[in-house]
Amino acid sequence: MVEVRLAGRADAPLVAALRAEWTVEVGGPVADPTFADRLCAWWEAEQDRRLTWLAVDGGTPVGMVNLAVFERMPRPGQPPSRWGYLGNAYVPAGRRSQGIGTALLQALLAHARAEGFVRIVLSPSERSLPFYRRAGFEPGTSLLVLTL
């Protein structure tokens, strides 16, 4: 039975395992003996502004997605506001089309709605566009991008 839950500090090794698997899937094996330590340091630094949901099946990580949270600068007479950037969504190839990605996305969106986020943005891959379109995402027309 797959469990989707909000990840905590102790889950860095599970996130690292998924990230390493993702890297192998898209580009082949990479020898990087410092990766796990670098990911754990990044994970610790991001805890105050990023939420990650994990899908776990019997202790094995089978998916993840995270949400970088951006608090808007307060304005007089306006309530606090925030938005999120959805990133690092991944389900291993052998576990796709089993509802895991949908469950992860639903958990993230339920949190965003409950917390009053004004929008969620993302940069989807070509392959993931139909998935996000089915969830109600549309092309953004109000943002500008400068690619550096």
Task: Specify if 145 maps to a domain.
Answer: no
- 120 touches 67 (CB < 8 A): yes
d(CA 20, CA 108): 22
Q: For residue range 47-81, list pLDDT tens digits in order.
A: 999 999 999 999 999 999 999 999 999 999 998 89
User: What residues pair up with 120 in beta bridges, in sequence order?
Assistant: 84
Element housing 5 (H / E): strand 2-6
Task: Specify if 140 maps to a domain.
Answer: no
Task: Name the band, by pLDDT with cuts 50, 70 and 90, for residue 17.
Answer: very high
Task: Specify if 139 maps to a domain.
Answer: no
pTM recorded for the entire structure: 0.92
Task: Specify if 148 maps to a domain.
Answer: no
d(CA 83, CA 121): 8
CATH number of the domain within which 128 lies: 3.40.630.30
65 secondary structure, DSSP code = E
Task: Specify if 147 maps to a domain.
Answer: no
- 35 touches 29 (CB < 8 A): no
Task: Specify if 141 maps to a domain.
Answer: no
pLDDT at 95: 96
